Amino acid sequence: MDTKAFKRSLHSSEHYYRKGFGHAKEVTGTLDFEYQSDLIQQIRNNGYTLQSGDVTIRLAEAFGFCWGVERAVALAYETRQQFPNERIWLTNEIIHNPSVNQNLRAMQVEFIPVNDQGQKDFSVVATEDVVILPAFGASVQEMQLLNEKGCKIMDTTCPWVSKVWNSVEKHKKANYTSIIHGKYKHEETIATSSFAGKYLVILNLQQAEYVCNYILNGGDREEFLNKFAHAHSLGFDPDIDLVRVGIANQTTMLKGETEQIGKLFERTLMRKYGPQELNNHFLSFNTICDATQERQDAMYKLVEQKLDLMVVVGGFNSSNTTQLQTISKERSIPSYHIDSAERIGPGNRIEHKKLHSCLEVLEDWLPSGPIVVGITSGASTPDKVVSDVIEKIFDIKAAKQKCSSVNVN
């Protein structure tokens, strides 16, 4: 399929929208009320630090809503303003944040249902309905289906995601296999791979090393295909489709790891075919999202400070939030990933998600005495949610101090 031609055709349709409807002023007021925080602004103005009692909060210098997320949420709100009586659907969560998605549900924005096989049931969408494509984008097949239905489409796809799509389309045009650094089940990677020709999704550097070793030395083809089951294009053959490769990424992955993977493939293909032939076998474009990079850089800076513990706030299914948690764990800082302030309490307890594991309840998670707490949040997390978390921490520590004072007296 000529995905580029399809996009051009879709973008020229009178039922397709990528911009607002002139309701920005009303929407901005609502978004500020629901998602902004005076406390967070106070901490920013105070050099990203705030002390209350025996708690010192150190906030990352870049965190929370990125421009692409703000744009997607604002467009979703504008869509409801523009179509107050129409039935509105979302193909996926608009972003990976429970409070934002709950607010949209309260505005009667519905989610496309998923059947027992995990497939979306688009039969619920009628011609007169409106469908919002989330910040992560939607697959070509989904967009094609919706276009054929003739319903109105509001596309909130982040331009950084679209940039990656353009890269894999260039790979396809030049007959390169796209090596996508990402999670093959993630909505963004599913969308990106739908724009590619031949592709292979690689989760991390370890998988990249396995593939590069196969390029250099060959190996067990069936083992390779089993190892990457569901993470490659139909008919993918590692003995044929790894001769010419192009690098792309899910925009929320760790910047440093994406760069390492790209350099590893470049070195491997240079070694295999020689420096003079490298351009015929390797293609790379910079598709690392600025906002993801800024938040990761700020996190690296934050964990260099003396911290007693770290709180990472964001959706449990948020890839960019998980990457921030990874940075903290690499420094062996006690780290707690929560999606909202409701995970804290009652009392001095926390329900948090361990890295690459399940939810766990921990009692007495905040120690006695003076503590320094690092705080950051994923790109889909509103300031208001971070503010609520900080206030909960202050409340717990104030109660502990009061209790200690009573016991001493």
363 belongs to the catalytic site: no
DSSP code of residue 354: P
Other beta carbons less than 10 A from residue 158's beta carbon: 24
Instruction: List beta partners, residue 372.
Output: 56
Q: How far apart are CA 74 and CA 71, in angstroms?
A: 5
Catalytically annotated residue among 188, 259, 266, 330: 188
End-to-end Cα separation, the chain, in angstroms: 77
Sign of the CA dihedral 159, 161, 164, 168? negative
Cα 297 to the center of its chain, rounded Å: 16
Other beta carbons less than 10 A from residue 292's beta carbon: 27
Q: Report the candidate in 286, 266, 290, 289 with the shortest Cα–Cα distance to residue 278.
A: 266
Tokens of 78: 């504008």
DSSP H helical ranges for 89-243: 98-106, 140-149, 159-173, 187-195, 205-217, 221-227
Element (H, E) at 30: helix 24-35
Q: How far is CA 379 from CA 64, 65, 295, 359, in A?
A: 5, 5, 8, 21
Sign of the CA dihedral 132, 136, 137, 142? negative
Instruction: State the pairing for strand pair 335-338/309-313.
Output: parallel
Q: How far apart are CA 361 and CA 343, in angstroms?
A: 9
Q: How far is CA 23 from CA 34, 79, 105, in A?
A: 17, 9, 20
Cα 229 to the center of its chain, rounded Å: 23
Residue numbers annotated as active site:
188
